[in-house]
Amino acid sequence: MAVPRAAKAGGKPAPAGQAAGMPVVSSESLLALKRRARRINRALAEKYPYAHAELDFTNPFELLVATVLSAQTTDVTVNQITPLLFARYPDARAMAEADPATLEEIIKPTGFFRAKSRNLLALATRLVDDYDGVVPGRIEDLVTLPGVGRKTANVVLGNAFGIPGITVDTHFGRLARRFGWTQSEDPVQIEADVAELFEPRDWTMLSHRVVFHGRRVCHSRKPACGACPVANWCPSYGLGETDPAKAAKLLKYELAPGSEALLAELLANTERAAEIRMASRKRTL
């Protein structure tokens, strides 16, 4: 892996003004990069002890389908339609026999519904034909299924099978570059670069924490650097708002101003975070 040019030793935030999305230049050994990366992971773990997969599921099949549906849309939208979808088609056999028009109607809110419907029907049929209707637990098999790439495969492995996986979605890729963990735009290369910095046992939770951070603090266009828990170790500090009061207003979800009660509830009940998130979303619908 090419060692990214990253933060200066000592963990001081680098000055603003670098090219968008890229860390400030300075040589950093692989060892120093690993130490800094792991420090960031520990800080994210302290900030988001309640981080978890934000797609709702009860078994590998549901997670696989929900992850396929999450392409080009939000987890919130997917979570709104999956209760009806899985009530109608609880397993691969039922989905393989679905009427395409009915399936399309149910998944329509997630966008690209015709292509997604075709993928789900083909996916369910392959599961029935080649895996006796059971979702396989190996990445080599998962990536051969219709509509399933490495990102989806790693989500399913990490969260439904407990097999470590790094999930490179748009948030993870952006933050990995901002952290100086990679310089690549290619998800497979990003996964390989980041895998070198962490032990496999950390991969799944690291993925959740980084995505949580990307959704709440380190946004694509307006990162809230002045309210960021990893600012001291981030070479891209200064890319966004650095004034603490202004940055705090950019925070989202449970970190947003006015969401203190939800945050306190999540921190007090980390193991029930998914349940609390679902209940809070229902309250706001």
Catalytic residue selected from 151, 186, 222, 246: 151
Six-digit token string for 257: 């101003």
Considering the rule CB under 6 A, would residue 234 count as an interface residue with ligand SF4? Answer: yes
Residue window 238-277: x/- pattern of binding to ligand SF4, with contact defined by CB under 6 A: -xx-------------------------------------
Binds ligand SF4 by CB under 6 A, chosen from 177, 178, 209, 277: 178
CA 205 centroid distance within chain: 10
Q: Give least dist CB 42 to ligand SF4, A.
A: 14
Question: Is 169 noted as a catalytic residue in this protein?
Answer: yes
Q: Closest CB to ligand SF4 among 136 and 214?
A: 214
By CB under 6 A, is residue 14 in contact with ligand SF4?
no
Residue 20: Cβ-neighbour burial (10 angstroms; 0-12, 13-18, 19+): exposed
C-alpha–C-alpha distance, residues 44 and 42, integer Å: 5
Which residues does 240 contact at the CB level (< 8 Å), separation at least 6? Answer: 218, 219, 222, 223, 224, 225, 226, 247, 250
Task: Return the range that interacts with ligand SF4 (CB under 6 A); candidates 57-65, 74-82, 138-146, 233-241.
Answer: 233-241
Is residue 231 part of the contact set for ligand SF4 (CB under 6 A)? Answer: yes
H helix intervals, the chain = 30-47, 60-69, 75-88, 92-96, 100-107, 113-131, 139-142, 150-160, 170-178, 187-195, 200-216, 244-248, 260-268, 273-284
The reply to whether 116 sits near ligand SF4 by the rule CB under 6 A is no
Give the tokens for residue 169.
């979605």
Answer yes or no: 193 catalytic.
no
Stretch that binds ligand SF4, among 54-62, 66-74, 202-210, 228-236 (CB under 6 A): 228-236
Under the binding rule (CB under 6 A), the answer on residue 180 touching ligand SF4 is no
242 marked ligand binding residue: no
Tokens for 228?
A: 């960021």
| 218 contributes a contact to ligand SF4 by CB under 6 A | yes
Three-class secondary structure of residue 244 per DSSP: helix
Phi-psi region for residue 234, left (φ > 0), alpha (ψ -120 to 50) or beta?
beta
Site for ligand SF4 contains 6 (CB under 6 A): no
Least separation in angstroms between residue 175's CB and ligand SF4 is 6
Residue 228 is assigned to a ligand binding site: yes
Which residue ranges make up the site for ligand SF4 (CB under 6 A)?
Answer: 178, 217-218, 223-225, 228, 230-231, 234, 236-237, 239-240
Residues assigned a catalytic role = 151, 169
